[in-house]
Amino acid sequence: MRIGIVCYPTFGGSGVVATELGKALAEKGHRIHFITYSQPVRLDYFSENISYHEVAIAKYPLFDYIPYETALTSKLVDVARFEGLDILHVHYAIPHASVAYLAKQILAVQGIVLPVVTTLHGTDITLVGKDSSYEPVVTFAINHSDGVTAVSESLKRDTYNNFKITNEIEVIPNFIDLKRFSKKAKDHFRKAIAPNGERLVVHTSNFRKVKRVQDVVHVFDKLRKEVPSKLLLIGDGPERHNIEQLCRELNLCDDIRFLGKQEMIEEILSICDLFIMPSETESFGLAALEAMACQVPVISSNAGGIPELNIQGVTGFMSNGDIEDKAKNAAIILKDDESLWKFKDAGFITSEGI
Ligand code: GMT
């Protein structure tokens, strides 16, 4: 099959899953065409079955806001026509689902049929999509997709609750490439960061408010009084400055490393002992699944789709908003090697089953 994939090309989970899906389909012999504004970060190797089409945007002084949707629609029409796409799979509804609808209509006038599948990822429904400035278009685009999938049962429920949906939504949980995420420990890196055998705690995100990274720092502050530990903060985003300030105020700078955006995330995760994800909303929590596949137990909130992967008392613990509780549970996991390995093994086995 010739498959077009539209996604955000960034480190965000929707772009990561879209890219990994395209790579896996290419390995099965399908011809994959990624259509985005820059090369997806996880598209890190050459395959004869994968092409990347960059959306070129003509600038003009009149445009205070760049008409990306128009440029993307035109690119989709062009790629679909000349590459003979059989299907178009768009990830994250805004603006991709409505853009795909328009491209489909333009192609139909030319006698070309292009079925569109939309995958909903989270904030396109729970945060941004339901805002009245986007809602009518999101509703229309979901209802006019030929197939709609959501990454968790929780997101499916949220979609039916927030929009007037007449279409069927199928849940297809996110997945990871276990070959990539199987343990690849870089012990020399661990020794450099935790020279006295401290436990290694990690958090990865886009450092937006909704991720509550400050809570990670507070939990770590309490945990390290019980269990000697170091914290790795991976990613970057709007809250970074405030988080750095908090680390200084709590006098934690010697025990916390900001590693920025990392491409080989599995190499770091596989030397870690605990992943913290206190998100306010999280429709799936791909970062937690990646951690579990690297045998890292998870302390998380119980928002959205997280309970569909983090099993209470087995792969980690969930509690909503409560820093004390998270620190207490973190100490239970990390207190001795027997306890830690029980959670590590359970996380890996659970990630295989998702
Ligand atoms: O976090 C976002 O705002 C964007 C989005 C993304 O592109 O990473 O994240 C959502 O999609 C991920 C992949 O399906 C999910 O793992 C995340 O839980 C979801 N984020 C939220 O629901 C906050």
Would you place residue 266 in the very low, low, confident or very high pLDDT band (cuts 50, 70, 90)?
very high
What would the mean pLDDT of 296-319 be, rounded to a whole number?
97
Q: How many CB atoms lie within 10 A of CB 161?
A: 11
CA 109 to each of CA 105, 113, 185, 199, 216: distance values in angstroms, whole numbers, following the listed order = 7, 9, 55, 61, 53
Q: What is the pTM of this model?
A: 0.94
All residues at 6 or more sequence positions from 255 whose CB lies less than 8 Å from its CB, including other chains: 220, 224, 229, 230, 231
Determine the distance separating the centroid of ligand 1 and the alpha carbon of 192, expressed in angstroms: 32
Q: What is the pLDDT of residue 307?
A: 97
Instruction: Kindly report the protein residue whose alpha carbon is nearest to atom 9 of ligand 1.
Output: 13
Would you place residue 181 in the very low, low, confident or very high pLDDT band (cuts 50, 70, 90)?
confident
Q: How many CB atoms lie within 10 A of CB 341?
A: 12
Determine the distance separating the centroid of ligand 1 and the alpha carbon of 136, expressed in angstroms: 21
Determine the distance separating the centroid of ligand 1 and the alpha carbon of 223, expressed in angstroms: 27
Model pLDDT for residues 159-174, shown as the tens digit of each residue: 999 999 999 999 999 9
Candidate from 6, 41, 121 with most ligand 1 atoms within 8 A of CB, to mutate: 121
**Which of 234, 190, 199, 198 has its CA nearest to residue 216?**
234
Q: Is the distance from the beta carbon of residue 12 to the nearest atom of ligand 1 less than 6 Å?
A: yes
**Which of 208, 202, 215 has its CA nearest to residue 236?**
208
Determine the distance separating the centroid of ligand 1 and the alpha carbon of 279, expressed in angstroms: 11
All residues at 6 or more sequence positions from 195 whose CB lies less than 8 Å from its CB, including other chains: none
What would the mean pLDDT of 193-220 be, rounded to a whole number?
97
Does 128 or 29 have the greater pLDDT score?
29
Candidate from 20, 126, 284, 310 with most ligand 1 atoms within 8 A of CB, to mutate: 284
The token duo for 313 is 């008392």
Q: Is the distance from the beta carbon of residue 17 to the nearest atom of ligand 1 less than 6 Å?
A: yes
Element (H, E) at 19: helix 13-27
The token duo for 212 is 């509550």
Determine the distance separating the centroid of ligand 1 and the alpha carbon of 121, expressed in angstroms: 6
* Secondary structure of residue 35 in the 3-state scheme: strand
Would you place residue 46 in the very low, low, confident or very high pLDDT band (cuts 50, 70, 90)?
confident
- For residue 51, is pLDDT > 90? yes
| Full strand arrangement of the beta sheet holding 229-235 | 256-260, 229-235, 199-205, 274-277, 298-300, 316-318
Q: Is the distance from the beta carbon of residue 306 to the nearest atom of ligand 1 less than 6 Å?
A: no
Q: Which amino acid is at 190?
A: R
User: With contact defined as beta carbons under 8 Å apart, do 323 and 218 qualify?
Assistant: yes
Would you place residue 54 in the very low, low, confident or very high pLDDT band (cuts 50, 70, 90)?
very high
Does 183 or 25 have the greater pLDDT score?
25
CA pair distance 90, 108, nearest whole angstrom: 18
Q: Is the distance from the beta carbon of residue 173 to the nearest atom of ligand 1 less than 6 Å?
A: no
DSSP 251-290: T-GGGEEEEES-S-HHHHHTT-SEEEE--S--SS-HHHHH
- For residue 187, is pLDDT > 90? no
Would you place residue 183 in the very low, low, confident or very high pLDDT band (cuts 50, 70, 90)?
low
Model pLDDT for residues 81-104, shown as the tens digit of each residue: 999 999 999 999 999 999 999 999
Determine the distance separating the centroid of ligand 1 and the alpha carbon of 129, expressed in angstroms: 13
Model pLDDT for residues 103-126, shown as the tens digit of each residue: 999 999 999 999 999 999 999 999
What would the mean pLDDT of 22-39 be, rounded to a whole number?
97
Q: What is the pLDDT of residue 184?
A: 65
Does 97 or 45 have the greater pLDDT score?
97
